A and B are shown apart, each in its own frame.
Chain A
Amino acid sequence: MSKKPTGTSPVSPSVPVELVNESLTFTLQELCLRCGMEHQQLQQLVEFGTITPLARPRSGNKDWHFSADTLQLLAKAARMQQAFELDAAGLAISLELLDELQRTRRQVQKLRQLLAQHVPL
């Protein structure tokens, strides 16, 4: 049985949306705030290459900027870290493999779909 909502807001008229593109970036500080992970953990994920700053700043780490996709990745990272008590290395490898798995699955789905139109499977 799923939890019943304790309150439901009425459907509002369409709210303004923003297509996320390269112009939306976040600093390391903002990422920490938004995904609830420690500064040091994120720094380790940078070292492992799980998340990559967009441009290397001239002065220190504080000016690192990350693409908006990083946020979504870190939301997943936070969920997984909580459930599996992973350290940074484990987290880095898991996220990388999950990403590769997702891309591969999509590729397989696409190729299967194409193939089925040419060769009955």
Chain B
Amino acid sequence: MEFKDYYKIMGVAENADTDAIRKAYRKLARKYHPDVSKEADAEQHFKEVGEAYEVLKDKDKRTEYDQLRKLGARGHDGNFRPPPGWQARNGGQQTSADGDFSDFFSSIFGGFGGAQQAGHRTARQTFRRRGEDVHSTLALLLDEAHQGGDKQISFQIQDSDEHGHLRRRRKTLKVKIPAGVTRGQQIRLKGQGGPGMGGAENGDLFIEIDLAPHPLFVVDGKHLQLTVPITPTEAALGASIKIPSLGGPLNIKIPADSSGGQKLRLVGKGLSKAGDLIVILRISMPKQHSDQARELYRQLAAETQYDPRADWGNLA
């Protein structure tokens, strides 16, 4: 088991007072809170900081931790081992955070912060509590969102062991994602959240769909946008070309006299059947032209009377 140096995690001195510790916590919480942080591994950091604060803000816990820290109970491998005779505390203790704490924490202060007991002997008959809802996010590739299918998801729930102690447990489910979901779509799995206590209802699992960026398709709600490069001759003369779509390649017709930036709407070919694929044309030029092609362009220039900058008037 790895020894957790809570002072180092919080970036405070060993003799820091409660006020300094609270300030350090606030700063770190602001930096790493998963809801507001842009840092990598924010969630992991936030858990560590939360755990450190849980111990250092509490006088009793801190004293206990300091003793243990001084004992230097580490093996040759640098790993932490509780000294012989050390008893993990359990029960009766108030833990404010709805903790998801490390093995290290549990070995000192007991499982799950040693906080609550699920079924107090005295209250076993009447203690009812609805299981907690779990909110999670599932990132899908566009193809997965389009086709739907089974995805395995893993999340933490709170339940109680055979002694009635609350604990965190990882739960894994296979979920059938319906075809055509888009970003922000919520899916509910009724009763798959935390188990209810004393016969109360289970919580629900809510999954919010997120979409991974795709190299070609840009997502716009249930619609998709695709930029399609075409040659100047295809734009002028019209053409039948092949383009990719989530359902497989499609043949589309570029109308004659098309222009760059022009949009073509392919109904029902978007992320879902209710969505469209919007093709945006982009005129692409070859990097070099042959002498003959140059000559043909010269003839073309002499032939066409087109000023694409006519809008500028006298400004240029």
Residues in A lying within 8 Å of B, measured CB to CB: 1-20, 24, 33-36, 68-69, 71-72, 75-76, 79-80, 82-84, 94, 98, 106, 109-110, 113-114, 117-118
Contacts and interface: CB of A to CB of B under 8 A. Distances in A.
B44 A15 contact: no
Contacts of A8: 169-172
Which 3 residue pairs spanning A and B have beta carbons closest together? Answer: A5-B170, A20-B186, A117-B227
Contacts of A2: 44, 47, 102
Contacts of B189: 15-18
Contacts, number: 130
A117 B229 CA distance: 9
Given A33-B130, A84-B26, A98-B36, 11 more contacts: A1-B102, A1-B104, A2-B47, A6-B168, A7-B169, A9-B171, A68-B188, A76-B35, A79-B33, A106-B183, A110-B218
Contacts of B39: none
A109 B282 contact: no
B33 A83 contact: yes
Contacts of A14: 150, 174-176
Interface of B: 2, 26, 29-30, 33-36, 44, 46-47, 50, 97-98, 100-104, 106, 111, 130, 132-133, 135, 150, 152, 161, 167-178, 181, 183, 185-190, 192, 203, 206, 208, 213, 218-220, 225, 227, 280, 282
27 contacts: A1-B103, A2-B44, A3-B100, A3-B102, A4-B103, A5-B168, A6-B161, A8-B169, A11-B152, A11-B174, A12-B173, A12-B174, A14-B150, A15-B174, A15-B192, A17-B176, A20-B188, A35-B133, A68-B186, A72-B135, A79-B35, A82-B98, A109-B213, A113-B218, A117-B218, A117-B227, A117-B280
